[in-house]
Structure 1
């Protein structure tokens, strides 16, 4: 009897989670409220979580055979770049909030008044918007390559693996729609986007 290769057996499930979480993060980034002064910090924290999970499962889905992973590995690096940019947006939004909501005494050592603090908060907002525009451009460039990657992976599936991918995809989509998709990410994956 041939031993079960758990890696190969679970690959369709990891790919499904990777794809669904990335697609939802991209959808949130493309939403009209993802730019401008109405940007919500919580939305970008959610986007970062989704990208981290997508990257984690991208790593789990890499095949063991050399030469079969180039596109999957490139996509994993792409997810790292996106996560790093989202972290930069979060940083700018945190700085904007801190300066906009600060009291005179908080920035007293700078000799800053409320007007100069408001200008600084606007500058942080502009920087966040610049990064977001860059993210939008990057996502547009990634649309076709991502669809091709999904097709390549689907073409490599057996009929049974294709069915497992479809079931897992449906399940993960439902979890996101119901707001039950969050879980604690393994510690080593918290470093994603920090490099």
Structure 2
């Protein structure tokens, strides 16, 4: 998991400290970079939602796990930049969206955990089945249980994301309207650039 996060996450510097790592960065720093943080927040969140809606039926369990890890990476990056954006805003809507991102990431983390459990129980190579000294037939039932739990969480997440579409667009519009012309231009350029990068970098795993 850590290896994949290093592979897919765009590194974010510690913006809360100065170059010597001592003094907190003042609010003007976040004001200056706010359009960029908002663009990253939006692009990474939108790509995570797109990937959550991709059909996974044809993927084996290991590729599903990889898919979940990419989504987690996207959500964590979006969450980081949502946090940086709130440093220059008192908007309750923005702070609530940050909490929402954390909840969505928690759901995907739970799905990932269920998939991991399933993979450890399936097949002759599943370490958990070997550790338990159980046969493949005995491990099939709990493996199916974990698979169903992952599917149940994902189903619930889809419903929540459908409900979240309108509030998210409302927040995005409100953020855009608070920007001046220069900030809007920076946001649009950053959004387009990040969007192109993210859609080519985060793609559905291919079943071979």
When normalised by structure 1's length, the TM-score is 0.82
Picking from 112, 115, 119, the partner of 1:93 is: 115
Q: 1:106 to 1:8 in 2, by over 3 A?
A: closer
- The more displaced of 144-153 and 114-123 is 114-123
Deviation track 1:88-136 (CA, whole Å, cap 9, x = no partner) reads 0010000000000345995467563221201111111000000100110
- Uncovered stretches (5+) of structure 1, i.e. residues with no partner: 181-195
Is 1:121 aligned to 2:143, yes or no? yes
Cα offset, 1:9, TM superposition = 1.2
Distance 2:129 2:65 in 1: 23
Q: Does 2:82 correspond to 1:58? A: yes
The match for 2:95 among 38, 52, 73 is 73
Contact 1:15 1:58 in 2 (8 A): yes
Q: 1:11 to 1:103 in 2, by over 3 A?
A: closer
User: Aligned pair 1:43/2:67, yes or no?
Assistant: yes
Contact 1:36 1:129 in 2 (8 A): no
| Matched residues, number | 175
Partner of 1:189: none
Question: Which consecutive residues of structure 2, in runs of 5 or more, have no partner in the other structure?
Answer: 1-26, 203-208
Structure 1 residue corresponding to 2:163, chosen from 141, 153, 157: 141
State the distance in 1 between where 2:126 and 2:50 align. Answer: 39
Distance 1:53 1:105 in 2: 32
Does the 8 Å contact 1:93/1:124 carry over to 2? yes
RMSD of equivalent CA atoms: 2.4
What TM-score do the two structures reach when normalised by structure 2?
0.77
| Aligned residue in 2 for 1:163 | 185
- Contact residue 119 and residue 126 of structure 2 kept, 8 A: no
Shift of the 85–102 alpha-carbon distance from structure 1 to 2, 3 Å rule, reads farther
CA distance in 1: counterparts of 2:126 and 2:47, whole angstroms: 40
